[in-house]
Amino acid sequence: MNHKLLLPNRFKSIGWMILIPATIAGIFLISTEYEASWLTTKVFAIFNDDLFFGNNESIGGSKNFTMITTDVTNTLVGLLFIVGGMMVSFSKEKREDEFIANLRLTSLMWSVWVNYALLLLSLIFVWGLAFFNVMVYNMFTILIIFIIRFNYLLYRSTKSMADDK
């Protein structure tokens, strides 16, 4: 089987160690709208516009290829979540073989289907600024659904193994 696109198994536990705190931090950020002021820093922006995020340097304008000062709390948590989630999703199992690869691919396809089904429903039924939240969640849902589905299928096949000695 072709394993070229998978990371070594040890990245899986590293991934969980990043993903779990990032999830907790993410839930905390969503529920409190907390912004860590000590995380306000200068960053390089290929593109910056101030429609949603206040930036006192250029109110209402947009800037390209420039340094800006902004709060990076959401950015950091999102970044950690994606890096952790990718590691958990795409690290080899202890014994990665063709059956596991098959489960992996079916789960991936399943998660794309479910993700876009949810997105379609949201497109039709969620309006206004709330849709901005939908887009934010949608950045992470494919990974979340994939991880849940793949681990469920793995669990199910391990369980049926225990039943059948």
Partner 1 sequence: MTNRIKVERAIHNLTQEDLANRISVSRQTINAMEANKYVPSTVLALKIARVFAKPVEEIFFLEDKD
Binding residues for partner 1, rule: CB under 8 A, are 1, 93-95, 97-100, 102, 154, 157-158, 160-161, 164
Q: How far apart, in Å, do the first and last CA atoms of the chain sit? A: 27
Q: How far is the CB of 100 from partner 1 (least distance, A)?
A: 6
Q: Which is nearer to partner 1, 33 or 95 (CB)?
A: 95
Inter-residue long-range contacts of 23-28, CB under 8 Å, 24+ positions, other chains counted: 23/81, 25/77, 25/80, 26/77, 26/78, 26/81
Q: How far is the CB of 32 from partner 1 (least distance, A)?
A: 42
Q: How far is the CB of 112 from partner 1 (least distance, A)?
A: 22
Q: Which is nearer to partner 1, 37 or 158 (CB)?
A: 158
Cβ-based neighbours of 47, under 8 Å, separated by 6 or more: 62, 63, 64
